[in-house]
Every structure is written in structure tokens, then in C-alpha cells.
Amino acid sequence: MVKAKGNARKSREGFVLDNSIVMAWSFEDETDEYADAVLDRLAIARAVVPALWPLEVANALLMGERRKRSTEAETIKWTAILKSLPIVIDGDTNAHAWSDTLTLARGHNLTAYDAAYLELAIRRSLPLATIDGKLKVAAKTVGVALFEVS
């Protein structure tokens, strides 16, 4: 089983940003105080995301349009905002997909997508910002700190 090595170190990257946080920013019915605080922290810290993140965001926003939760104009607005934020896309995500990520997904009953965030947090020794319950439990189990906003 893949485990974190020691505590999450302080880094210029700051934290791994899970898509559950981004969707809370994007959809009014998913508003969350913690997610809002994470957004505020991007004023002083960078986030890192797995390579799948842009597609995951695009798909969620598109599904929001199709389900009449948002409009195309809102999607265009949000993607412009997201592009302006200090979010770094990890270039090594795919190299771990069929090994550590798959192992984490199996071992913690996660989707491969969610396991990619956990794998990234482990590999980069960064805390994880998420509001996904299963991902929080998995992070705690493997020793990944949750990102604190206080």
C-alpha cells in the first residue's frame, strides 16, 4: 500500500487541490465555507493538481450546463477565473496511473480520478484540500495531512 512519508512539508506549491473544492466554487448549490477559505488561500499559496484536472473540471462544468445548473456563459467565466489562479498542473500524473494511483484506488475504494489527487499529495509531500468524504478518510489512512485554512 502506498503511504505518505512523514508530515507534509511546507512548499511554495502549498497544497493539492481536489476538484470537489473547485466544484463548490463553481456551483451555488455546492457552496462550502472550507472551499471558500481554500480559494482565499490561493492569494498566498499555489496549488497543484493532477494532469486530469482540466478535463475533470471541463466535464463537471459541461454536465452542469446540461443539467441546467449553470450556463455556457458561466462556464466561460469560471474557466477564465481558474486559468488566472496559481494552480500548477502536475506533469507526472500519468506515469503513476497504472501503479501507485491504481493501488490507492483499489486499497481505499476510490475512483482512479480521486486516487490521482491522493497519489499526488503523497508524491509531493503536500497536504490535500478536499471536501470529499471518502478522499478525506483515505488521506488520513495513508498519512496525508488535510490542508488547513485557519
> What's the pLDDT score for residue 68?
94
> What's the pLDDT score for residue 80?
96
Residue range 115-134: average pLDDT?
98
For residue 26, the tally of other CB atoms under 10 A from its CB is: 24
- Chain centroid to Cα 11, Å, comes to 17
* CA separation for the pair 5, 142 (Å, rounded): 9
Model confidence band, residue 1 (pLDDT cutoffs 50, 70, 90): very low
Model confidence band, residue 7 (pLDDT cutoffs 50, 70, 90): very low
DSSP 67: T
> What's the pLDDT score for residue 138?
98
3-state secondary structure of 28: helix
User: pLDDT tens for residues 42-76?
Assistant: 999 999 999 999 999 999 999 999 999 999 999 99
> What's the pLDDT score for residue 13?
66
Q: How is residue 15 written as a grid cell?
A: 497544497
DSSP strand pairing (87-89 vs 15-17) = unpaired
pLDDT greater than 90 at residue 10:
no
* CA separation for the pair 14, 10 (Å, rounded): 6
* CA separation for the pair 129, 55 (Å, rounded): 19
User: pLDDT tens for residues 80-124?
Assistant: 999 999 999 999 999 999 999 999 999 999 999 999 999 999 999
